[in-house]
Amino acid sequence: MLYFPPLTTVITARAERWAQKRQGVDRPSTRLRSGRIYILPTGVGAIFALMTFAMLLGSMNYNNNLSFLLTFVLAGLGFVSMHQCQRNLVDLEVSFAGVDPVFAGQSAEFRIAVTNHSRNRRHNIQLFSGTTRSSVRDLGPGESRVFHLGIPTERRGYTQLDRYGIRTLFPFELFHAWAWLHMELRCLVYPKPADRSPPPPPSQTAHGHRQHDARGEEDFAGFRQFHDGDSPRHVAWKAYARSGELLSKQFAGADTSSQWFDFDRVSAADTETRLSILTRWIVDAERTQRDFGLRTPGREIPPSHGDAHRHRCLEALAMFKHTNRARAAA
C-alpha cells in the first residue's frame, strides 16, 4: 500500500528546507531581520475574514453606513494586526544559552535567550520545534529572557536541534508570524541508567582489602578549605551563611575506597545493556560519594569523584559506539 503523507506535512517540510537553504546556518546569536519572518493567517483569522466579508455583504444589502463602518473597522484591524504580528518579531536577538546533558529518555532542555532591544514591549513570544512549544512570554523594553525548549531524547549520543522557531500570534491570533533558526545545536545524551542492575563490583582500599563499612562515608570528619572541584553537596552552606567562608565537609573514608567499573566484566548480553548498567553504577557511586574508575575497551579513566569526573565517565559511555567503531576500523 502506498502511503501519502498529509499535504500540510509535505508543504511544511518543503518550506522548511527552502528556508534553510535560503538562510544558511545561523550564528549562535542572531538578530531577526524582517526578510526571514514568515506570516500566514490562522484558522481564527480565516473565520474572521469570512465574517468580515459576510458583514460587508450585509452592509451592502441594507445600505447601512454604520454597519459599513463596523465592517471596515474590523477589516482595518485585520490589516493592522498582520503588520503588528510581523513587527512583533523583527529585530529580536535570539541566542543560544546552553543545554545540560541528560539521560536518554529525559527531555533535553535547550535554553534560548531572546532579547528585545527596542523601547516597546514584545508580546506573546514563544519558541517551538516540531510539536514542542516553550512557554509564552512577553519581553519588556530592553528585556532579555531565557526560554526552555524541551526536546525528547531516546538514544544516547548527541541529540541535534537543527531547526527551531520563534513565533507569535499577537495581537488577535488572526495571524501567525514565525522565523526559523538553524544554529546546529546539540545536546549530549547519556545512556539511560538501568532500572535493575547487578550490584557493582566491590570497593577496594588502596591496599586491596575490601572496605568493611561503606557507611564510613557518612562519618563526618571535619572541615577543610573549599577547593575547585569539590562537590557543592559537601559545601557547608550553613557555615557559609554565618561566616562567609567557603568550607567543604570531610567524610571519613571518602578518599580511601575506589571502585573499578569495567565494561568487559559487566554480565549482560548486549552493549547497550552494559552501558546502561555502567551508567546506573556511576550515578549511584557519585550519589554516595565513592571514588570510581571506568574501564572500557580502548579507554581507561582512573578513579576519582566529582561532577567533572562523573561527566567524563558518562560522556565516554554516551559516545561509546563511536570509539568502538573507530577501534574496529583501526
Burial class (CB in 10 A: 0-12, 13-18, 19+), 243: exposed
The 257-286 site mask, x for binding other proteins (CB under 8 A), equals: ------------------------------
Closer residue to other proteins (CB): 68 or 251: 68
Q: Which of residues 103-132 bind other proteins (CB under 8 A)?
A: 116-120, 122-124
Q: How far is CA 59 from CA 76, 77, 249, in A?
A: 16, 18, 80
Q: How far is the CB of 139 from other proteins (least distance, A)?
A: 10
How crowded is the C-beta side of 196, counted as CA atoms within 13 Å? 1
The answer to whether residue 46 forms part of the interface with other proteins (CB under 8 A) is no
Q: How far is the CB of 128 from other proteins (least distance, A)?
A: 15
| Cα-Cα-Cα-Cα dihedral sign, residues 165, 171, 176, 179 | negative
Buried/exposed code over 65-88 (b: 16+ C-beta within 10 A; e: otherwise): eebbeebeeebebbeebbebbbbb
Query: Which grid coordinates are listed for 293?
Result: 574508575
Q: Which of residues 7-36 bind other proteins (CB under 8 A)?
A: none
Which residue in 10, 70, 146, 326 binds other proteins (CB under 8 A)? Answer: 70
Which residue in 98, 141, 298, 302 binds other proteins (CB under 8 A)? Answer: 141
DSSP strand pairing (204-205 vs 257-262): antiparallel
Helix (H) or strand (E) holding 321: helix 320-329
Closer residue to other proteins (CB): 177 or 254: 177
Closer residue to other proteins (CB): 19 or 75: 75
Give the interface with other proteins as residue ranges (CB under 8 A).
Answer: 44, 47, 51, 55, 57-58, 60-70, 72-77, 79-81, 83-84, 87-88, 90-91, 116-120, 122-124, 136-138, 140-143, 169-173
